[in-house]
Amino acid sequence: MASIDIRNVRKNFGIVSVLHGVDLAIENGEFVVLVGPSGCGKSTLLRMIAGLEEVTEGEIRIDGVRVNERAPKDRDIAMVFQSYALYPHMNVAENMSYGLRIRKAAREKITAAVSNAARKLELQPLLARRPKALSGGQRQRVAMGRAIVRQPKAFLFDEPLSNLDARLREQMRAEIKKLHRDLGATSIYVTHDQIEAMTLADRIVAMHEGVVQQVGSPLELYDRPANLFVAGFIGSPAMNFLSARYEFGGSTAGARLPDGTLIGLSSGYQLEQGAAVTLGIRPEHVEMSPASESSLRATVDLIEPTGFGIILHLGLHGLPFNVFTLDRAALTAGPTVTVAFPPQHLHLFDETGKRALESGLQKRKS
């Protein structure tokens, strides 16, 4: 187990720059998820930690030791690939023991480590099989077994569940989490799936276009997204955004929508009077309410029952707007509904897309 320090790491492929200075400190035993859309540089960062890509600039330290120039084999890390990358000409036991065998470990030690890992992952009956005789989930398990057999300093996961079907993915997700709880090993996990990120991570690193957007616990990212990108990326269905102008007067603050409706805010913000802002609200926080001064009328475009709840696709001044509700009455919603935004669930972003800083308005009020 180890801590991993990433200091101002940059990566260029030729003239294309894919990582623009990433700083990240991963503590011993932590489970960190790198999440972002494809092409955001998360896999590249992981491969740099593994030693599969060179570091253009900056420094990567494992347990305080600079590893930039070290070959992957000398970094003592393990990696689980999206394609599993099992050796097709070796059986399961040989696949799992390969790392120990080429490090010339004692035979008894290898046997013990393999059977131990096989027991943990319920692979004992499959040890003599070749990868092609395994199902996707079993291959995935073998790939994890190959990683844990060596007891490396850290585990790297590169979208390990992307090739599995939905049900299996949920199951393996839980197994990875259990495995991390049991082994307590430092883990870095790359995914584009925000649900995986939310459920697995101690800390999420949200990335976009080669820049870290926000680092924090899953709930921090959900409750207080640092910018429009994180707000839109974390959460499903995605957050709704409305453009508005910030207004304050005396002890109240609000956001004025283009149609003139004033949405009340629970706090003041460090913004100029009339500043252009983006108002964000998650579909699950929108209230379906009887008409009032601050409520909005929206047309119903589409109703999607998910079984658990209902997603309403609305049109608000011609813009798409989603609502998620558990109330089955919504299934029979008419051509229009009225929606209201509870102030405590509103997110305000300034012109540059950053989360607007709150000011002491609320305190003055109380």
Partner 1 sequence: MNRYSIFGTALHRLAILCYVVFALFPLFWLLKVSVTPNDLLYSEGVRMWPSQMSFEHFRFVLAHSAFPIFFRNSMIVAGATAVIVTLLASLSGYALSRFTFRGKYWLVALMLLTQMFPLVMLVAPIFKMLSPLGLTNSLTGLVVVYTAFNIPFATFLMQSFFDGIPKELEEAAKIDGATQFMAFRQIILPLTLPGIAATLGFVFTAAWSELLFALMLISGNSAATFPVGLLTFVSKFSVDFGQMMAAGVLALIPACLFFLFIQRYLVQGLTAGAVKG
Binding mask 29-68 for partner 1 (x = CB under 8 A): ---------------------xxx----------------
**CA-CA distance, 304 to 164, in Å (whole number)?**
25
Neighbours of 219 (CB within 10 A): 10
The only residue of 42, 141, 150, 153 in contact with partner 1, by rule CB under 8 A: 150
- Does position 181 bind partner 1 by CB under 8 A? no
- Output the smallest distance, CB 159 to partner 1, in A: 12
- Does position 103 bind partner 1 by CB under 8 A? yes
The only residue of 73, 107, 354, 365 in contact with partner 1, by rule CB under 8 A: 73
- Does position 183 bind partner 1 by CB under 8 A? no
- Output the smallest distance, CB 229 to partner 1, in A: 30
Residues in the chain: 366
Question: Based on CB atoms, which residue is closest to partner 1, 73 or 109?
Answer: 73
Question: Based on CB atoms, which residue is closest to partner 1, 139 or 282?
Answer: 139
The only residue of 31, 84, 233, 321 in contact with partner 1, by rule CB under 8 A: 84
- Does position 145 bind partner 1 by CB under 8 A? no
- Does position 139 bind partner 1 by CB under 8 A? yes
The only residue of 34, 79, 123, 348 in contact with partner 1, by rule CB under 8 A: 79
- The answer to whether the beta carbons of residues 326 and 224 sit under 8 Å apart is no
**CA-CA distance, 48 to 57, in Å (whole number)?**
11
- Does position 241 bind partner 1 by CB under 8 A? no
DSSP per-residue codes, 203-249: EEEEEETTEEEEEE-HHHHHHS-SBHHHHHHSSSSPPEEEEEEEEEE
What is the largest distance, in Å, between two alpha-carbon atoms of the chain?
A: 77
**CA-CA distance, 59 to 292, in Å (whole number)?**
57
Quote the tokens at residue 128: 């003599």
- Does position 83 bind partner 1 by CB under 8 A? yes
Q: Give me the helix-helix angle, 107-120 and 136-149, nearest 10°.
A: 140
- Does position 18 bind partner 1 by CB under 8 A? no
- Output the smallest distance, CB 84 to partner 1, in A: 4
Task: Return the amino acid letter for 178.
Answer: K
How does DSSP classify residue 357?
Answer: P
Task: Return the amino acid letter for 128.
Answer: A
- Does position 126 bind partner 1 by CB under 8 A? no
- Does position 131 bind partner 1 by CB under 8 A? yes
Q: CA 319: distance to chain centroid?
A: 27
Give the number of C-alpha atoms closer than 13 A to the C-alpha of residue 276, restricted to the C-beta side. 4
- The answer to whether the beta carbons of residues 275 and 343 sit under 8 Å apart is no
- Does position 85 bind partner 1 by CB under 8 A? yes
- Chain residues that interact with partner 1, rule: CB under 8 A: 50-52, 71-73, 77-79, 81, 83-89, 98-99, 102-103, 131-132, 139, 146, 150, 163
